[in-house]
Amino acid sequence: MRILFIGDIVAKVGRKTVQHELPALIEKYKIDFVIANGENATHGKGMIYHHYQELLNYGIDAITLGNHYDDKSEIEKYLDAATEVVRPLNIKKDFPGVGSAVFKSEDGTTIRITNLLGQAFLEMDVENPFLSFEVFLKTIEPANIHIVDFHGEATAEKQAFGLAFARQVSAVIGTHTHVQTRDYRIIDDFTGYISDVGMTGPNNGVLGTDKEGVISKMFNREKSHFSYDKKDDGLFSAVVLDIDEATGACQSIFPIYSVVKASELR
């Protein structure tokens, strides 16, 4: 089956870019199931209920999160009932929702999706993702397909994870850096891998935020306010995965990277 994995959707421009691009991509590439990282969906940080619903309406089947999973406190109220959302598995604090869930595609194929947070350069209080995932794998019922969203800053940590769990999961998709890497490949003839799938959001800033705030922070080395241009061009970043549902092996992985002009986003 064919799965589309969309990189971190940032703010309104990101959501509108999904709306603009997704229906045609599903048609063109005959996509069976759509996963997206939604940790930045609401003004760049977190995801409120309304935007969760909006993303589902655009054709997304499952949403993963990341270090911004709890930035909008509203999520604590709706997450337990939000069966399409998977938040990081290895957080230490008691939080609603689940870190891994099994979804079903229209043809009955079961797809497990797991979300993990890396430890390198991320100031988060999390369990070691390698150790916790190793333990977790022993506790779960097998599904046809298992996709891991490894949300981390360092390519080395993500590569090590992909190599460590090759042949145990169908794909390891890196998220969080908002910059798509060129190292997509299949590890050990089984596990689809990319260090970072990239971002879906405002294209002319820095990682989705307006350039002014970031540049000022770099010059002055002090905190500055980040904002999100509501009229920017929209970058769409994703990967397409072909996975054999009988074996769980990834047969091909290729990236999608396109820009939609601001005038086409409404």
Active site residues: 68
Smallest separation (angstroms) from Fe ion to the CB of 39: 5
Number of residues that bind Fe ion (CB under 5 A): 5
Q: Are strands 2-6 and 33-37 parallel, antiparallel or unpaired?
A: parallel
Q: Please, which residue, 8 or 70, has the CB nearer to Fe ion?
A: 8
CB-nearer residue toward Fe ion: 66 or 202 = 66
Q: Is residue 162 classed as helix, strand or coil in its secondary structure?
A: helix
Query: Closest approach of Cβ 229 to Fe ion, in Å?
Result: 17
> Any contact of residue 66 with Fe ion (CB under 5 A)?
yes
- Give min distance, CB of 69 to Fe ion, in A: 9
Q: Using CB atoms, what's the residue nearest to Fe ion?
A: 8
CB of 206 to Fe ion, least distance (A): 12
- For Fe ion, which is the closer residue by CB, 71 or 245? 71
Residue 178 CA to residue 136 CA, distance in Å, equals: 27
Report DSSP letters for 27-87, one per residue. Answer: HHHT-SEEEEE-TTTTTTS---HHHHHHHHHTT--EEE--TTTTSSTTHHHHGGG-TTEE-
Site for Fe ion in 161-220 (CB under 5 A): 176
Residues 13-52 within binding reach of Fe ion (CB under 5 A): 40
Contacts of 166 (CB under 8 A, 6+ apart): 187, 188, 190, 191
Q: Which 8-state DSSP code applies to residue 139?
A: T
Cα separation, 183 vs 2, in Å, equals 20
Footprint on this chain of Fe ion (rule: CB under 5 A): 8, 40, 66-67, 176
